[in-house]
Amino acid sequence: MTKVRVTVPATTSNLGPGLNSMALALGLYNVVELSEIEYGLEFDLHGEGGDSLPDSPDNMVVRAAIEVFRRAGLVPGGLRVRLENNIPPGSGLGSSAAALLGGVVAANVLLGSPLDREELLRIAIDMDGRPNAATAALYGGLVISSYDAGELVFATVPVVPMYVVVVLPVEADRPRPDAFPQSVSLPDAIFSIGRANLVMRALSTGNYDLLRRAMQDRLHEPICQQCIPGYRQAVEIAHRYGASAVAVSGLGPALIAFADQEHEAIAYHMARTFERVTGIFARTWILPLDTQGISISEMAASMSFDRHRRPVPASKLPAPIPVKTPPIDNGQVTDLRVARKAVTRDQNKSEKPEQEPDDDKVSAPANGKMQTGT
């Protein structure tokens, strides 16, 4: 039985002025392992979110995987899902995007990759509601993106190697930011647009002085900051101990601090400040940037199924789990392996000249990892 293992990085989104358009991949990872079984849902979750995330079809990984099966015209008889979570859920570090992206990519590889990378990205974006985190997690590094009326436009931006400090105040009932205003003043819009361009330049060149002046926002950060008790004091202490810039990661409550040195001191004193001012314990990480993005490996070479099982055409409704497919003898495909091979042959026929009819196999990359690029 094939078991697909997908590793997805955390992300820090917005980076101050880049609301829903900028994100940076970080060296903190969730791992999704997915395989198909005869019947039902087997779920094994380790690490972050073990006491809060659903171990049912409502889990984002499962929902995303089922959507890929549906797009491919199939439903699984059952799924075995194993999660190794290192990204805290609800932290502002892209845990939702990581779960959705891990689910769609793992399911697609399990089916023989019937969907291309951009279609998978669109599925994750539509389910997450924003393009920046999923795009950065897929490609790694710094990604600028826009998604409007179904049109996705994005570009990867090379960044210099650096470490960042992530500080996450742990608060059980943190207030969430209210809805952002639907209109803003022209001066505020111009300010944030200009600063976003400068953030991109600072990260690509490693210019910490420019980053200090650029990572400012007038659109969403003031609202997010109000929902993080101790924010102002933590930022002040971060600057005192050498941070060039501090921003809310995503919608928070995690904060991300950029500095060329003294990362341990910054992390320690920010956490101590949260505890002193608010009584809230804060977790800290010192992380490198991730420049690879998602990585994939297949743990076995083939799948074994009962010959009477067959794929069921996807309905317009989400496929339920568990699904038990009865034998059907109507002259159609009765083995999921045959269906996958047929998909592969169809893809190859469209890509190869007619004079090569005997070459009907697609070779996976030798390193087992998705290629990255714009």
pLDDT band at residue 282 using 50, 70 and 90 as cut-offs: very high
Q: Is 270 left (phi over 0), alpha (psi -120 to 50) or beta?
A: alpha
Domains of the chain: 4-157+292-298 (3.30.230.10), 163-288 (3.30.70.890)
User: And the tokens for 160?
Assistant: 């210099």
Task: Give the pLDDT score at 95.
Answer: 95
User: And the tokens for 364?
Assistant: 């996976």
pLDDT at 74 over 70: yes
Percent with pLDDT over 90 in the chain: 57
Q: Helix, strand, or coil here: 181? A: coil
Task: Give the pLDDT score at 179.
Answer: 66
Q: Between 20 and 315, whose confidence is greater?
A: 20
* Alpha-helical regions (H) of the chain: 60-71, 95-110, 117-128, 132-139, 186-205, 208-214, 221-226, 231-240, 263-278, 336-351
Q: Between 347 and 248, whose confidence is greater?
A: 248
- CA distances, 361 to each of 115, 116, 346, 352 (Å): 17, 17, 11, 11
Residue 251 in contact with residue 91, Cβ under 8 Å? no
Task: Give the pLDDT score at 174.
Answer: 64
Question: Of the segments 263-272, 350-359, 364-373, which one has the largest average pLDDT value?
Answer: 263-272
Long-range contacts of 343-350 (CB under 8 A, 24+ apart): 343/72, 343/111, 343/112, 343/114, 344/112, 347/114
Radius of gyration of the chain (CA): 23
Q: How far apart are CA 38 and CA 306, in angstroms?
A: 8
In this prediction the pTM is 0.77
pLDDT digits (tens, 9 = 90+) for 179-216: 677 888 899 899 999 999 999 999 999 999 999 999 99
